[in-house]
C-alpha cells in the first residue's frame, strides 16, 4: 500500500506539471501568473485527493474513503486524540485538511506529525513546506525551502519535495536549482507523456540559463551592491530585478531577474529587450534601477530596497549601482 500511495502522489504531482510548468516558463512574470500557476496545481492535487476519498480503495486504512468528509475528519480527530503518537494518523489528518483546503489546520497537523517523527520523516517535512506555500505568504518561501531541503536530505527521491522545491526555486529566479529538482523528478522514471513534459520544461530552463549574447553597441555594465546600512532590511529578499528605462519612463526596455545574492555584476543590452519596438538604442540615455523584492514580484512593493543610476547605453565603462533606498 505504501508503494501505491507513493505512486499516486507522484502521479498527482506530475499531473500538476502539465498545468503549472508552462505558466512558469517565461523568464519574468507578474505575481498573478505565478499565483494562478500555483493555484492550478493545488486544485489538481486536491481534486485527485477528493476523488480518491470518495471512490478509492475501500480496503485501505483510511476507511473514511467511502464516508462524507465530516465523519472522516471526526474519526481522525478521535484517532489522534486517543493515540497522539500515531504518525500515520497525523499524516492522514493533514492530508484530509488539505483536501478541505483548511491549510492552517493542515500545517498544524503536519507539524505534529513532524514532532512525532522527531524530524525524520520526509513526507511530514515536505508536507509542512507544501502547506506553507499553499497558505500563500510569499515572505515564507525561504522557510518552505528549508523544509524541502530537510525532506530531500532524508529521501532524495521525495516527489513532493522535488516538485515544490523546484517550483519555489523558479518563483525565486533560481533556475539552476529548479532544473536540478525537475531533473530529479525525471530520474524517477515517470510515464512517457509526463517524461516528455518534464523534458520540455528542462529544455526551456536550459534556454533561459544560456547567457544571452550582449549587444556591444547598447551594453550597460553595472556592478550592483547593497548599502551596508540596509543589510538588515534586506533580510527576506527573494529576488533581484534590474530594469532599464528611457527618459520618458514607460515600459522597461530591458529587464533581468536574478537570485538576491549581492554583490553581482551584470550586463544588459538590446538583447534583453522584452517588447518589440521598445529596444535600447546606441548612445541612449537611460535610468538603470536595481530592486530587491521580498515578494518575488517585479512590481514595486512597500519595503523593497532599490537604487538607480543614469547611464549612456554602449558608451560607458562599468558603473557602480548601490541599492540605498527604501520603497515607501
Percent of the chain with pLDDT strictly greater than 90? 34
The domains spanning 2-209 and 216-326 adopt the same CATH topology: no
- Residue written as cell 532524508? 154
**pLDDT for residue 16 is more than 70:** no
322 exposed, middle or buried (CB, 10 Å; 0-12, 13-18, 19+)? middle
pLDDT confidence of residue 204? 86
**pLDDT for residue 206 is more than 90:** no
Average pLDDT over residues 265-294: 85
Instruction: pLDDT band for 237, please (50, 70, 90 cuts).
Output: confident
Average pLDDT over residues 308-326: 94
Q: Average per-residue pLDDT in the chain?
A: 78
Average pLDDT over residues 301-322: 93
- Residue written as cell 538590446? 270
pLDDT confidence of residue 59? 32
310 exposed, middle or buried (CB, 10 Å; 0-12, 13-18, 19+)? exposed
C-alpha cell at 130: 507544501
**pLDDT for residue 31 is more than 90:** no
- The 3 state secondary structure assigned to 240-288 is EEEEEEECCEEEEEEEEEEECCCCEEEEECHHHCCCCCCCCCCCCEEEE
Q: Other CB atoms closer than 10 Å to residue 251's CB: what's the count?
A: 11
**pLDDT for residue 175 is more than 60:** yes
Q: Which residue has the higher pLDDT, 168 or 38?
A: 168
Break the chain into its structural domains and give their ranges: 2-209, 216-326
Task: Specify the CATH superfamily of domain 216-326.
Answer: Carboxypeptidase-like, regulatory domain (2.60.40.1120)
Q: Which residue has the higher pLDDT, 298 or 108?
A: 108
13 to each of 10, 185, 190, how far by Cα in Å?
A: 5, 10, 11
Give the residues across from 326 on adjacent strands: 305
Q: Which residue has the higher pLDDT, 228 or 295?
A: 228
Query: Per the omega criterion (within 30 degrees of 0), is the bond before 187 cis?
Result: no
User: What is the side-by-side strand order in the sheet with 285-293?
Assistant: 249-259, 239-246, 285-293, 305-312, 325-326
Average pLDDT over residues 292-305: 85
**pLDDT for residue 4 is more than 50:** no
Instruction: pLDDT band for 138, please (50, 70, 90 cuts).
Output: low
pLDDT confidence of residue 257? 83
**pLDDT for residue 61 is more than 80:** no
Q: Which residue has the higher pLDDT, 128 or 28?
A: 128
- Of the given ranges (55-69, 76-90, 186-200), which has the lowest mean pLDDT? 55-69
Q: Residue 315 and residue 326: Cα distance in Å, rounded?
A: 29
C-alpha cell at 15: 499531473
Average pLDDT over residues 250-263: 83
pLDDT confidence of residue 109? 94
Please tell me the total number of residues recorded for the chain in this structure.
328
pLDDT confidence of residue 34? 44
Percent of the chain with pLDDT strictly greater than 70? 76
Q: Residue 313 and residue 135: Cα distance in Å, rounded?
A: 43
What string of DSSP letters covers 20-56? HHHHT-SSS--HHHHHHHHHHHHHHHHHHHHHHHHHS
Instruction: pLDDT band for 108, please (50, 70, 90 cuts).
Output: very high
**pLDDT for residue 186 is more than 80:** yes
**pLDDT for residue 12 is more than 70:** no
* Closest to 43 in 3D by CA, of 67, 8, 19: 19
| 3-state secondary structure at position 219 | coil
* Closest to 244 in 3D by CA, of 314, 318, 310, 301: 310
User: What is the side-by-side strand order in the sheet with 220-226?
Assistant: 264-268, 220-226, 319-323
**pLDDT for residue 213 is more than 80:** no
Task: Specify the CATH superfamily of domain 2-209.
Answer: Tetratricopeptide repeat domain (1.25.40.10)
Q: Residue 119 and residue 112: Cα distance in Å, rounded?
A: 10
Q: Which residue has the higher pLDDT, 251 or 155?
A: 155
Amino acid at each position: 500500500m505504501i508503494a501505491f500511495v507513493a505512486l499516486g502522489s507522484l502521479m498527482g504531482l506530475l499531473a500538476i506539471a502539465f498545468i503549472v510548468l508552462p505558466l512558469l516558463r517565461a523568464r519574468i512574470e507578474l505575481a498573478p501568473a505565478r499565483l494562478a500557476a500555483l493555484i492550478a496545481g493545488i486544485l489538481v492535487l486536491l481534486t485527485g485527493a477528493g476523488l480518491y476519498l470518495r471512490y478509492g480503495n475501500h480496503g485501505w486504512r483510511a476507511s473514511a474513503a467511502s464516508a462524507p468528509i465530516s465523519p472522516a475528519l471526526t474519526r481522525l480527530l478521535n484517532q489522534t486524540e486517543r493515540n497522539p503518537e500515531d504518525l500515520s494518523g497525523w499524516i492522514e489528518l493533514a492530508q484530509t485538511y488539505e483536501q478541505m483546503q483548511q491549510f492552517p489546520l493542515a500545517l498544524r497537523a503536519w507539524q505534529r506529525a513532524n514532532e512525532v517523527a522527531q524530524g525524520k520523516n520526509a513526507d511530514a517535512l515536505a508536507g509542512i513546506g507544501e502547506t506553507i506555500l499553499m497558505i500563500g505568504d510569499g515572505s515564507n518561501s525561504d522557510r518552505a525551502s528549508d523544509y524541502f531541503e530537510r525532506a530531500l536530505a532524508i529521501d532524495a527521491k521525495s516527489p513532493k519535495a522535488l516538485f515544490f522545491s523546484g517550483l519555489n526555486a523558479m518563483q525565486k529566479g533560481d533556475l539552476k536549482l529548479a532544473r536540478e529538482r525537475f531533473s530529479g523528478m525525471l530520474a524517477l522514471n515517470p510515464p512517457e507523456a509526463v517524461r516528455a513534459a518534464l523534458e520540455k520544461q528542462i529544455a526551456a530552463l536550459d534556454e533561459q540559463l544560456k547567457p544571452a549574447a550582449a549587444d556591444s553597441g547598447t551594453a550597460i555594465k553595472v556592478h550592483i551592491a547593497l548599502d551596508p546600512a540596509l543589510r538588515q532590511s534586506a533580510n527576506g529578499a527573494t529576488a533581484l530585478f534590474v530594469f532599464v528605462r528611457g527618459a520618458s519612463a514607460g515600459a522597461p526596455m530591458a529587464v533581468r531577474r536574478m537570485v538576491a545574492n549581492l554583490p553581482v555584476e551584470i550586463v544588459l543590452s538590446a538583447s534583453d529587450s522584452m517588447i518589440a519596438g521598445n529596444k535600447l538604442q546606441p548612445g541612449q540615455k537611460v535610468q538603470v534601477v536595481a530592486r530587491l523584492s521580498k515578494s518575488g514580484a517585479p512590481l514595486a512593493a512597500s519595503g523593497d530596497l532599490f537604487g538607480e543610476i543614469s547611464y549612456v547605453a554602449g558608451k560607458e565603462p562599468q558603473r557602480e549601482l548601490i541599492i540605498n533606498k527604501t520603497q515607501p
